[in-house]
Amino acid sequence: MSRYIFLSLLFFIAFSCKEPINHAKPKPPVRGLITEHAMVVSAREEASKIGSDILKKGGNAFDAMVATELALAVAYPYAGNLGGGGFMVYRTNQGDIGAIDYREKAPLAATKNMFLDSLGNVIPDKSTLGAMAVGVPGTVAGVLTVHEKFGTLPIDSILKPVIDLAYKGVIVTNKQEKRIKKYQPLFIKANKDSIPFDKAWKTNDTIKYPKLAKTLERIAIHGKDGFYKGETAETLVNFIQDNGGIITKEDLEKYEAKWRAPIVFTYDDLKIISMSPPASGGVCLAQIMKMIEPFDLHKYGHNTLKTIQVLTEAERRAYADRSFYLGDPDFVDIPIPTLIDTNYLEERMRDFSFAKATKSSEISHGSIEIVESDETTHYSIIDQFGNAISATTTLNGAYGSKLYCTELGFFLNNEMDDFSSKPGAPNMFGLIGAEANSIAPEKRMLSSMTPTIIEKNGSLYMSVGTPGGSTIITSVLQTILNVHEFNMTMQDAVNAPRFHHQWLPDEIRMEPNLFDKKLIKALNDLGYIINEERSPVIGKVDGILVLEDKTLEGGADRRGDDTAVGF
């Protein structure tokens, strides 16, 4: 080949392979905390430290889970809770995997149309604010059930530092000051009497929680009965009923956390273990990742036009299925094997083209939208023995129903809003629900929580999760891809700008001012609607990555006060 032809050919190849549109200036990689043995990453330093100290004392990841979860109830009342619920996925150092569901339940007196008026319209605020919004809390049963099966330290020694923290108090951060101020009008609306959070708390003030400490002491002494029976149960039920709620003593007595088989699937050389229904996270994550697996995202590049298109189209299709099929598996049959089957998912993506956006109205099952609150919280733990847990816990909305039981020292959830009050009508996250997620006594409401653990070549690789309501699934997805496809550190993977599509509304939500305007224009030209207003932040991901030399790297989200602590 002559030199001229060779150069022409080079020129042709160079200009016919379009560069991905990526205007981000290359920055040096940022590493999170690196530790040799163990780590806890959570929304507050106090909780991560209490969890890490339990590990230092010789406890395992499950002991540390109890401590961290309950410490979040003290240090992070925005989402950490005794009055809510959650999900946890684990992998032991023997490679055994499992999951526990401590999701709230509808009370026995709940009815399908309890949030509708006589004309069949959703009554504003009834499923989000005040006592009717409250589902039967699951957190205490969840952590104690985990402790019963896997714990090694006595429960009173695990709870001691948490109780001490509640008595000593927690320093208000700048972000917390803003959050309290923002929600004060709703605290006044939801509560008959004033609550400690009505005060004008300022950054660096200390909030003490003596009543919560007493509640925790009863749990330390009586275990599950210290919450679901006796003085706490009596006080809680009276309080809820005085405020017009329907939860009874029988509801509390009957509550049980449930062990569930997690959703397991592969993506390239990764084995991904995530939460099963009534959390939609695992199924949706599996669907999206199987739909995108055939595309060469690594080649397209991080947050480039093509990558955003592929992810958006897979998300659109997965969220359409979520709305139609998913609910509490104890009440509805969910065709999970089909939903995550490779052939089914290939078929789902068959009509995707890079030439233009698919319209959500053309995607079945399309009579539903999705709405869920952003104010959950997640923590990840890897212990010095090689056990890992990934747990996401919530009150649903910020400070849940805003109803605060002063005598017991905690907020109550508004998880009833995660049911579809009226199939086809969006909830507070804009998520549309179907019949599968309609209200029934003792049913668990559908969740987006996606606590996830990943293995690579048979070894523990990552523990990851996030709050963010309907954006939980896509935030976890992007964090995994950032590490696996785009070679980011755990911290960079967590920090990177995020976007989200959930089928309906038919728009790509982007974190504001973090995506290039030319990229947005290119997406608009292909028919995508971009919304940079809806979500100032998408997710607050916390994760731990096992590096090649077996040290641990924490990724604690810059979007919150999240902190990694370990040794």
Q: From the CB of 88, what's the least distance to ligand GLY, in Å? A: 13
User: What number of H helices and E strands is found in the chain?
Assistant: 18, 21
Contact 537, 556 (CB under 8 A): no
Residue nearest to ligand GLY (CB): 447
Q: From the CB of 13, what's the least distance to ligand GLY, in Å? A: 47
Spatial distance between the Cα atoms of 139 and 131, rounded to a whole number of angstroms: 18
Q: From the CB of 382, what's the least distance to ligand GLY, in Å? A: 24
> Could you tell me which residues come within 8 angstroms of residue 241 by beta carbon, excluding any fewer than 6 positions away?
131, 247, 248
Q: What phi and psi, each to the nearest 5 degrees, are found at residue 451?
A: -65, 130
User: Considering beta carbons, is residue 219 or 318 the nearer one to ligand GLY?
Assistant: 318
Which residues form the interface with ligand GLY (CB under 6 A)?
372-373, 376, 394, 396, 418, 447-449, 469, 472
Contact 414, 129 (CB under 8 A): yes
Q: From the CB of 450, what's the least distance to ligand GLY, in Å? A: 9
Query: Sign of the C-alpha dihedral, residues 498, 543, 490, 77?
Result: positive
User: How far apart, in Å, are the Cα atoms of 13 and each of 2, 19, 22, 295, 299?
Assistant: 17, 11, 20, 21, 15
Q: From the CB of 322, what's the least distance to ligand GLY, in Å? A: 11
Spatial distance between the Cα atoms of 84 and 140, rounded to a whole number of angstroms: 9
User: Considering beta carbons, is residue 163 or 190 the nearer one to ligand GLY?
Assistant: 190
Single out the catalytic residue among 68, 304, 307, 376.
376
Structure tokens at 347: 């078929």
User: Considering beta carbons, is residue 369 or 372 the nearer one to ligand GLY?
Assistant: 372
Q: From the CB of 469, what's the least distance to ligand GLY, in Å? A: 5
Give me the DSSP letters along 218-250: HHHHHTTHHHHSHHHHHHHHHHHHHTT----HH
User: Considering beta carbons, is residue 21 or 370 the nearer one to ligand GLY?
Assistant: 370
SS3 of 186-208: the string is: HHHHHCCCCCHHHCCCCCCCEEC
Concerning whether 304 is annotated as a catalytic residue, the answer is no
Q: Please give the single-letter amino acid code of residue 315.
A: E
User: Considering beta carbons, is residue 33 or 541 the nearer one to ligand GLY?
Assistant: 541
User: Considering beta carbons, is residue 77 or 226 the nearer one to ligand GLY?
Assistant: 77
The residues that are catalytic are 376
